[in-house]
A and B are shown apart, each in its own frame.
Chain A
């Protein structure tokens, strides 16, 4: 069930009203929201709910054993087993086909011909987000940062529908304490919630899908048919599309949670204004960045142990971060470009006495980010190369028009502007009377619906991850 759909427009108001009606009776509220979240997830495929329940129970069992045991070897062993199970689940569903095919090809090439069985395995929606959150719970219990919660709280943490399928990656210690007491019905950020839903809808439906349809999909599909100006437009267009698609989803998720009385962490903070790659990763998919930092980079040694080890740890973290998006060499290359850029940036920061002007840093960082999106978006590396090689073939543009260029410039430009005017606008909107907030939401839904083709709203890009 995607947020911008009729099914969700029926589902959410009912769940919202019943949620607040039951809020004071936590014994009824928790099973109700849990059931609602499973209904939401089952819309994709009811069988996925079995997997979600299994991940929940396995991690809860592990967390209980870890908490009860005082033997460090037992604690470590159970934590390792739980994380291995989580990653194994991810591996089977997400990477098995890719690796089986690659290994079979390799075995064939060396004449061994011992093929692994191939199967077209359905990827459960949001499996990466679910698994990461499960790991965060178990490891935080192991690290004694939190105590095990009740099973229903853990089940709610992993399945809460606003963040279930595409994040943000909410940490157990952020969410579970919010379940400890009923949400206060007299203190709900209604204006902020509705404004985020409105912004998210516009970003996803009116901007991301429009750019995908008009320029990105045609050019990335068959770059050979286009000359450099169109290819360049598609590269910038994809940078804007993926930002609006993913941050739009996150905005809606955070807004829905706010209406239900819950707070999620911020996931995007104008990433295309970054002057360094370190800054970019503090602004882009922030909840993934901190997950990778806390559960991969720091355990690998972080920046302790010298420059070489720091560089190694950065590269490993970014390459695995790329691979997290899916089993494809394009994601590996994307992670490698970002890892390499972070390493080079660290070297320059230490060795260069001269600091380039801000505009030059922005130009460099922005364009390397745009360049890295090309293998990320292209269906395979050969097409990524075909795309890049078209940049040398100048010819007449066919896809440039005022609205496409205008949207790209607007989205990037708004990130470069000072935040005060936008914040003032947002605060003014949030201050509207509830009736006007509702009418505004309806107006935006009607207008964005008008921009949707008869085929409906395409899925969010991050649903596939």
Chain B
């Protein structure tokens, strides 16, 4: 018997059906998914950045959400499968929504008092407050915090620092439908009790904010920046743990895309505005002028005398070398605050 040609492929053995049976099976799966996951499809579309994919997902997601609303079984299914979810329950404390509901604005005519926490002692020529030991470091944010988080962890492992890496990819302070950073930061502090927090986030910003009174503030004007700063300030306050911890909040190096640069500029301005009451414990670590001096994007820069690529091809993120440099700068700043690192 001649040897069979290995490049002539046989269909799998077993039962075959008509193509219409295959389409029916897929259609049944779709109907079940529309009923059970309709809300998720709609939510996913709403959380996507502008573009064709968002339009398509929303074109399906909105009617899918409507169908799910009619049947009302999705909550039951999600309750039944909740134990499988890797996401920790965030509770309600610290929610951004609560601050919007409360108005978030200063009463007319009232001026918030300036406290000593608004001043970094070093900037006044006073003796800096040095914490003896850095025992637990939390490195968090969105995809920008990677791989800087592992760089920090590796470099600090020999100093006895327990580094907790908690990146939340695809999230943003202006994108709280996916993760409410107000709640998440509260939960992180409650769970890990870090005495230093490195925060690097901003690759997914630019979504409109809901403002008190039911309106919305679109990126990237003063109203949007003010909302962003308010939320960032709330998080800074949570992370600093009434002065017990130090926070290292990284500004954004500009992205290659001019449209994104506009968002980056607004985020950076908001960060500087947000930190004002907490300069004693919150350090703004300037990544903007390191990676994009003069506001100009560059993929490569000199490191140790050698021209080195520091950005990912997407023109947003830092690559390994860029992250290593960022980690080095953060550690240099931390050394002033923690005796065990000196």
How many angstroms from the CA of A189 to the CA of B15 in the assembled complex? 7
**Residue tally, chain B, CB below 8 Å to A:** 74
B244 contacts partner chain A, Cβ-Cβ < 8 Å: no
Residues of A within 8 A of B300 (CB): 118-120
Q: Contact: B25 with A437, CB < 8 Å?
A: yes
Contact B165 A218, beta carbon cutoff 8 Å: yes
Asked, given contacts A189-B12, A222-B163, whether A10 binds B60 with beta carbons under 8 Å apart, the answer is: yes
Q: Which residues of A contact B179 (CB under 8 A)?
A: 454
Contact (A101, B309) CB under 8 Å given A438-B25, A451-B85: yes
Binding site secondary structure of chain A:
helix
Asked, given contacts A120-B312, A450-B81, whether A186 binds B14 with beta carbons under 8 Å apart, the answer is: no
Complex: how many Å from CA A449 to CA B36? 11
Q: Which parts of A144-173 form the interface with B (CB within 8 Å)?
A: 171, 173
Judge if A275 is at the interface, Cβ distance under 8 Å.
no
- Given contacts A7-B57, A187-B16, A455-B168, A438 and B313 within 8 Å (CB-CB): no
- Is there a chain A Cβ closer than 8 Å to B341's Cβ? no
With A191-B17, A224-B157 already in contact, the answer to whether A264 and B9 are too (CB < 8 A) is yes
Chain A residues with Cβ below 8 Å from B20 are: 20, 185
Of B25, B57, B305, B307, the residue contacting A441 (CB under 8 A) is B25
With a 10 A CB-CB cut-off, give which of A259, A264, A437 has the most chain B CB atoms.
Answer: A437
- Which of B111-119, B125-133, B146-154, B208-216 forms contacts with chain A? B146-154
Q: Does A104 contact B307, Cβ atoms closer than 8 Å?
A: yes
Q: Is the CB of B22 within 8 A of A446?
A: no
Does B98 sit within 8 A of A, measured CB to CB? no
> A213 touches which one: B9, B15, B86, B154 (CB < 8 A)?
B86
A453 contacts the other chain (Cβ, under 8 Å)? yes
Contact yes or no, A174 B158, CB < 8 A: no
Contacting residues, chain A, for B269 (C-beta < 8 A): none
Of A51-59, A78-86, A355-363, A426-434, the segment with at least 4 beta carbons within 8 Å of chain B is: A426-434
- How far in angstroms is the closest Cβ of chain B from A390? 11
Are B10 and A263 within 8 A (Cβ)?
yes
Tell me if A409 is interfacial: C-beta within 8 Å of chain B: no
A193 CB to nearest B CB, Å: 7
Q: Does A121 contact B (CB under 8 A)?
A: yes
- Contact A7 B53, beta carbon cutoff 8 Å: yes
Q: Which residues of B contact A431 (CB under 8 A)?
A: 14-15
Contact of B25 among A115, A187, A434, A456 (CB under 8 A): A434
Taking CB atoms and an 8 Å cut-off, the chain A residues in 358-382 that contact chain B are 379
Within 8 A of A (CB), among B291-342: 299-300, 305-309, 311-315, 319-320
- B27 x A13 contact (CB < 8 A): yes
**B12, B300, B305: which has the most chain A beta carbons within 10 Å?**
B12
* Chain B residues positioned under 8 Å from A105 (CB to CB): 306
| Contact indicator per residue, chain B 155-171, by CB within 8 Å of chain A (1) or not (0) | 00110001101001111
24 chain-A/chain-B pairs, Cβ below 8 angstroms? A6-B45, A6-B57, A17-B23, A104-B307, A123-B313, A192-B12, A213-B86, A221-B149, A221-B153, A222-B150, A225-B153, A225-B162, A225-B163, A259-B22, A379-B320, A383-B154, A434-B24, A443-B32, A445-B33, A446-B33, A447-B81, A451-B85, A454-B179, A456-B170
The 6 closest A-B pairs by CB, nearest first: A438-B28, A450-B81, A442-B32, A122-B313, A438-B25, A224-B157
- Which A residues have a C-beta under 8 Å from some C-beta of B? 6-7, 9-10, 12-13, 16-17, 20, 23, 43, 97, 101, 104-105, 108, 115, 118-123, 171, 173-174, 177-178, 183, 185-194, 210, 213, 218, 221-222, 224-225, 258-259, 261, 263-265, 379, 383, 427, 430-431, 434-435, 437-439, 441-443, 445-447, 449-456
